[in-house]
Structure 1
Amino acid sequence: MPPALTRLLADGRALGALAVPLALTQLAQVALTTTDTVMMGLLGTEALAAGGLTMVIFNQLRTMGVGLVTAVGNQVAAADARAESDASGTPATSGTSGTSGTEEDVRDLVRASLLLSTLAGIAGAVLMVLIGHAVIWLGQDPDVVDAAEPMLYLMAPGLIPCLWFQAIRQFTVGMRRPQALLRITLASIAVNAGLNWVLIHGTWIFPKLGLPGIGLATSLVYALTCLALYASARRDPRLAPLLSLSIWKTRPATLRRLFGLGTPIAATYGSEAGFFSVVALLVGSFGTAALAAHTAVNQLVYIVFQIAVGLSHAASLGVSRELAVNNLAAARRLKTTALACAAAVMAIVALVYATVPHLVLAPFFDTDDQTATNLATKLLLVAAILQFFDCTQNIGVGLLRGLDDTKGGFRVTLVGYWLVGLPAAALLGFATGWDTIGIWLGLLTGLATTATLLLRRFNQGVGSHGASRST
C-alpha cells in the first residue's frame, strides 16, 4: 500500500475515533428537534409553521451561546497535548492559546465556560421572548405568531441548562472522553418523546397544553441531560478533579481569553444561523404552506449537518493538538480526511433525496396537504446539492478554530452569507418569481461561497504558522 494512502487511512481512523461518537451524539440531539417537528406536524400545518418559527428563534440564540464556550474544547485539547508532549520528552510549541497543561488551568477553563454559559443563557432567554413579539413586523402571519408565543415562553428558560450542558460537553470532548455524551443523548430522545406526548395530549396527571407542551418538554429535557452529563463527569476519575462549579473563582484573565476567542465563534455561528433565520422569514412571506415545507426540509438538512459537525469538531481538536506539537503535515491531512468523509456521506444522502423523496417527507406532512408536500419535494432536490457546501463550510470553520483564527471565520461568513447569499436569495426568490425555490438557490450560493473562502483561509493560515515557527 502506498505510504500516502497508509497515512490517510491512519488519519481517518484517528479522526473517526473522535468524530463518530460526536456525530452520533449530534444526530441523537437533532432527533430531539426532529421528534418535536413531527409532533408539530401531527397538530396541523399552522402548528408546524408556528413551531418552526419558534425553533428558528431558539436555535439562533442557542447556537450563538454555544459558540461562546466552543473554544474551551480547543484550549483543553491543546493543553492536554502539550502535557503529553512534555511527559514524553517531545518538544512542543507554545501554541496560540497561552494555556498551560496544569490541572488548575483546565479547571479554570471549565469555571469560565460555565460562567459564560449562565450569562448567555439569561440574555438569550430574554431576547427570545422579545424577538417572538417582534416577528409580526417582519411579514409573518399574525395567527402563526399568536400560536408561537406560548411555546416561546416555555422554551426560553431551557436555554440556560442547554448551554451548561454544552460547556461541560466541550470540557469532556477536549479531554477526549466523549462517550457518555452519546448514551445520555440517546436516553433523552425517549424522554423527550414521552414528555411531548403527555404534555400535548394531557395524559395521566399532566395538563393538555397542545403546541406549548412541546416547548415545556424541551426545557425539561435540557435540564435533565445537563444533570446527567455532570453526574457522569463526576464519576470519571480523570474528569472529576477538573470539573469545578465554583464560577465565582474564575480568573478574570481566563474569562477574558475565552470571551475573546468565543465572541467571534458566537458571531460566526450567529452569522450562519441568522442567515438561515432570515431565509425562513423570507420564505414565511409566501404563506403557511411555504413555511411548513421549508421547516420540514430544513430539518432534514439539519439532521445530515450533524455529521459534518462531528467531523468539524474532531478535525478542529486534532488541528489544535497537532499545531501544539508543531506537526503541520498532520494538520493539513486532517482537512483532506474530514472533507473526504463528509463528501462520501453527502453523496449517499443526495441519492436518497433524489430517489425516494416522498418516503423522506412522509413523517412531516399529512397526505392531504399536497401544496406543502409538493413544494418540499422540489426543495429536496436543491438540498441534495446544498448539503455538500453546507458540510464543507462547517468543517472549514472548525479547521480555523483549530488555528485559533476565530475572527477570520466570522469575517468569511459575513462575505459568504450576507454579501453574496442573502442578495442572491432575494434576487432569485422575488425578482425572478421563483419564490421559495429561488430563495433556496440563493442559500446554496451563499454556502458555496463561504465554503470556498474558509478552506482558502485555512491553507493560508497553516502556511503562516509554519513560516512563523521557522523564523
Structure 2
Amino acid sequence: MQQPTTLARDSRALAALAVPLALTQLAQVALTTTDTIMMGVLGTEALAAGGLALVVFNQLRTMGVGLVTSVGNQVAAAAARAERDEDAADDDGREVRGLVRAAMAVATLAGLAGAVLMVLIGQAATWLGQDAEVAHRAQGMLAALAPGLVPCLWFQAIRQFTVGMRRPQALLQITIASVAVNAGLNWIFIHGSWGLPELGLTGIGVATSSVHLLSFLALYASARRDPELAPLLSLDFWRADAPTVRRLLGLGTPIAATYGSEAGFFSVTALLAGSFGAAALAAHTAVNQLIYIVFQVAVGLSHAASINVSRELALGEYAAARRIKNTALACGAAVSALVGLAYLAVPELVLRPFFDPDTAADQQGLRIASGLLVVVAVLQFFDCAQNIGVGLLRGLDDTRSGFRITLIGYWLVGLPAAWLLAYPLGGETRGLWLGLLIGLATTAVLLLRRYTVALAAKASTTAAPAQPGRTSAVS
C-alpha cells in the first residue's frame, strides 16, 4: 500500500499530464453542454430530439476515437525508447511519423463510415419506439452533425500524437476557444442572425460540425509551430504504411469496441428512457450530460495513467506501473465525492441550466431528474474507476481484455438489471439508472483485477532493468 507521501508525490506527477487532459475534456464537454442547454431553450421536445441525436453522434464518435487512441501509447513508448537510447532516436522518429500517417488514415475511413451511419440511423429512428415528432426533429440534427465527424476524428488523431509526446497544453487553449465559438454559432444558426436562415434545432448540428473543423485546423497549426512536434507531424495519410495501419487497427478495434460497448450501453438505456415519454427522456438526457462532465475528468486520468504505464513499461519500471493504478483511483474518488455532494446538496441548482421550474412543461422532467441524482452520486465513482481500468490495460497493450470485460459488465449484468428494475419491478427511469450503476460497478472490479494480474505476469516474465540516469513518470 502506498504511503501518504508517496501517494502525494505520485499524484503530482500524474496530475502534470492528467490536469491539462481533464481540463481539455471538460472544455470539450462544454460544447455538448452548451448544445444541450440551447436545446432546452427550444423546449422539452427539442431537448428530447437533440438528446437522441447526440446519443447517436457520441456513440459513433466514441468508437472512432477508440480506433486512434492507441496512437498515444505507441508514441509514448517510442519516445521513451529514444530517451533511453539516443542511437534509437532517428528510428523512433520515423516510427512516430508513420504512426501519425496511419492514425489520420484510420480517422478518415472511420469518419466517413460513421457519417453515413448517422444519416441512416436518423431515418430509422421511428422504428426504434421514439415519438414520431421527436424522431423527425432528430433526423435533421443528425444530418447536420454527420459532416463534422471526419474533422472531429482528425482532431483526435493529432491529439493522441501530442499527448503521446507529453505536450498536450495547446489542446486546452484550442478547446476553450471552441466553446465560445460554438455558443456564438449556435445562436446564429438557431435564430437566423446576419441574414442566415433560421434553422432551429438543426442549426445546433451545423454549428457543432463547423466547430469540429475549426478545432482541427487550429490544433494542426499549433503542432506545426512546435519545434519538437513539427518534424514528426505527417498528415499525408494516403501514404500510410499498410502494416502500421493494421497494427493500429489491431490495437484500436478492441478499444473502439470497448468504447462502443459502453456508449452503446448508455444509448440503449436512452432508448428505454424514451419509452417512458418525452419528460423521462429529457430528464435522462440532462442527468446523462451531468455525469458526462465528471466522466471527462476520468478520461483525463485514464489517458494520463495509460500513457505513463506505457512509458514505465518501456523503461522496465514495474513498481511505478503498479502505483499508477492506486494514484489514479484515489484522484478519481476525490473528484467523484466532491461532485456527488453537490448533487445531493443542491439538486435544483445543478439541474437549473436544463429545466425551468416555473414552466409547467419542465416540472415533470425536473422532478424525475432530481430523483436520479441520488443514484448518480454513487454511479459516477464506478464510471470513473472502470474508465481508469480500461486505460491501465491499454498501457499494457492489452486492449482485448477490456472489450471482453465490458461485454460481461455492461451487457450480461448491467442491461438485464436495468430492464428488470425499470419494467417488471416498476422502477422506470430510476430503475434504468440503478441497472447502469450495477453494470459499471461490475465492470470496474473486473478491469482493475485484470490489470493487477496482467502486470504481475508481465513483471515476472520480463527482466528488463531500469536504465540509470532516467526519470520515472511517477517519481
Match of 2:296 in 1: 306
Is 1:356 aligned to residue 346 of structure 2? Answer: yes
Is 1:79 aligned to residue 88 of structure 2? Answer: no
Q: Give distance in 1, aligned partners of 2:240 and 2:24.
A: 29
Q: Give distance in 1, aligned partners of 2:195 and 2:17.
A: 42
Contact 2:302 2:390 in 1 (8 A): yes
Contact 2:98 2:241 in 1 (8 A): yes
Q: CA deviation at 1:8?
A: 2.0
Contact 1:80 1:101 in 2 (8 A): no
- Which among 318, 339, 345 is matched to residue 329 of structure 2? 339
Match of 1:54 in 2: 53
Q: Structure 1, residues 249-305: CA drift from partner, whole Å, max 9, x if none? A: 211111110010000000000000000000100111000000000000000000011
User: For 1:454-469, what aligned pairs fall within 5 Å after superposition?
Assistant: 454-469=447-462
Is 1:113 aligned to residue 112 of structure 2? Answer: no
Aligned to 1:431, what secondary structure does the other structure show? coil
Contact 1:422 1:442 in 2 (8 A): yes
Match of 1:22 in 2: 21
Q: Structure 1, residues 208-259: CA drift from partner, whole Å, max 9, x if none? A: 1100000000000000000000000000001001111111221111111001
2:452 partner amino acid: N
Structure 1: where are the runs of 5+ without partners?
93-98
Match of 1:289 in 2: 279
Q: CA deviation at 1:102?
A: 1.8
Q: Give distance in 1, aligned partners of 2:323 and 2:2.
A: 13
Q: Give distance in 2, aligned partners of 1:355 and 1:375.
A: 17
Contact 2:74 2:164 in 1 (8 A): yes
Contact 2:273 2:284 in 1 (8 A): yes
Match of 2:472 in 1: none
Q: Structure 1, residues 395-453: CA drift from partner, whole Å, max 9, x if none? A: 00000000000000000000000000000000000010110110110010000000000
Contact 2:57 2:118 in 1 (8 A): yes
Contact 2:344 2:373 in 1 (8 A): yes
CA 321–101 in structure 1, closer or farther in 2 if over 3 Å, else same: farther
Is 1:260 aligned to residue 250 of structure 2? Answer: yes
1:55 partner amino acid: L
**Superposed CA RMSD:** 1.5
Q: Give distance in 1, aligned partners of 2:235 and 2:2.
A: 47
Match of 1:397 in 2: 390
Q: Give distance in 2, aligned partners of 1:100 and 1:391.
A: 38
Q: Give distance in 2, aligned partners of 1:226 and 1:268.
A: 25
Match of 1:168 in 2: 158
Match of 1:215 in 2: 205
Aligned to 2:195, what secondary structure does the other structure show? coil
Contact 2:255 2:400 in 1 (8 A): yes
Q: Give distance in 1, aligned partners of 2:133 and 2:179.
A: 30
Structure 2: where are the runs of 5+ without partners?
465-475
Aligned to 1:364, what secondary structure does the other structure show? coil
Q: Give distance in 2, aligned partners of 1:393 and 1:148.
A: 31
1:243 partner amino acid: L
Is 1:280 aligned to residue 273 of structure 2? Answer: no
User: For 1:30-429, what aligned pairs fall within 5 Å after superposition?
Assistant: 30-87=29-86, 102-367=92-357, 368=359, 369-429=362-422
Aligned to 1:326, what secondary structure does the other structure show? coil
Contact 1:151 1:212 in 2 (8 A): yes
Match of 1:96 in 2: none
Match of 1:444 in 2: 437
1:228 partner amino acid: A
Match of 1:95 in 2: none
Q: Give distance in 2, aligned partners of 1:155 and 1:320.
A: 34
Q: CA deviation at 1:204?
A: 1.4
Contact 1:79 1:100 in 2 (8 A): no
Q: Structure 1, residues 68-117: CA drift from partner, whole Å, max 9, x if none? A: 00000000001111111114x9xx9xxxxxx9952111000000000000
CA 201–293 in structure 1, closer or farther in 2 if over 3 Å, else same: same
Q: Structure 1, residues 158-211: CA drift from partner, whole Å, max 9, x if none? A: 000000000000000000000000000000000000000011011112221100
Q: Give distance in 2, aligned partners of 1:302 and 1:417.
A: 17
CA 342–268 in structure 1, closer or farther in 2 if over 3 Å, else same: same
Q: Give the total of aligned pairs.
A: 461
Contact 1:151 1:214 in 2 (8 A): yes
Contact 1:424 1:442 in 2 (8 A): yes
1:219 partner amino acid: S
Contact 1:82 1:101 in 2 (8 A): no
2:459 partner amino acid: G
Contact 1:73 1:171 in 2 (8 A): yes
2:190 partner amino acid: I
CA 249–385 in structure 1, closer or farther in 2 if over 3 Å, else same: same
Aligned to 1:102, what secondary structure does the other structure show? helix
Q: Give distance in 2, aligned partners of 1:130 and 1:322.
A: 44
Contact 2:2 2:323 in 1 (8 A): no
Q: Give distance in 2, aligned partners of 1:85 and 1:101.
A: 13
CA 101–356 in structure 1, closer or farther in 2 if over 3 Å, else same: farther
Match of 2:467 in 1: none
Q: Give distance in 2, aligned partners of 1:205 and 1:181.
A: 33
Aligned to 1:416, what secondary structure does the other structure show? helix
233-242 vs 99-108, which deviates more?
99-108
Q: Give distance in 2, aligned partners of 1:316 and 1:219.
A: 29
